[in-house]
Structure 1
Amino acid sequence: MSTENETESETTRITRKGQVTIPKDLRAEFGLEEGDEVRWEKAEDGIRVRKATQSSGRGMLVDNDVSEEKREEMAEEMEAEIRKKRREEWQP
């Protein structure tokens, strides 16, 4: 991996199978973990990669009197459990 400008862009190579590695600092900054999905989008200036989240329904099944802080805590716990299950499914 080479770095043009540490804060603006990084480059990685595409493997024979078409795989790419998202640089560690970007995974950390955007909260990407094993099992997460990313969306590849065409753009006028090239390709954009975005985290594919389904957060629009977050908190829909929680009572209205639950605080926003508690909702976030519950959502994070659920996301962690989903990632754990995905990892278990991928284990040979």
Structure 2
Amino acid sequence: MRHWDLRPTSPTTLVGSLSPDAVGPVSGTMSNDVLRIAYIMKGGLSVAQTLKLLPNGVLANHMSIKKLGMTVATVDERITKE
């Protein structure tokens, strides 16, 4: 189970935490229906995640994980409401 704690720092930026995944702060920006977040995981893995709300209410999630600047994993998924 993951726990997000995000709070706005301006109309377009946010900071927070993600447990247990992030080892430091989570930062993000919001523009229209797109949220971009970034954080560091254990082992020095850097995460960049883009969440986009689509017109049909589906949330498109793209995550890229890098180690030493090289992409080691990606995730693309659609999050729907039941």
User: Greater helix share, 1 or 2?
Assistant: 1
User: Greater strand share, 1 or 2?
Assistant: 2
TM-score norm. by structure 2 comes to 0.32
Between Structure 1 and Structure 2, whose CA radius of gyration is higher?
1
TM-score norm. by structure 1 comes to 0.30
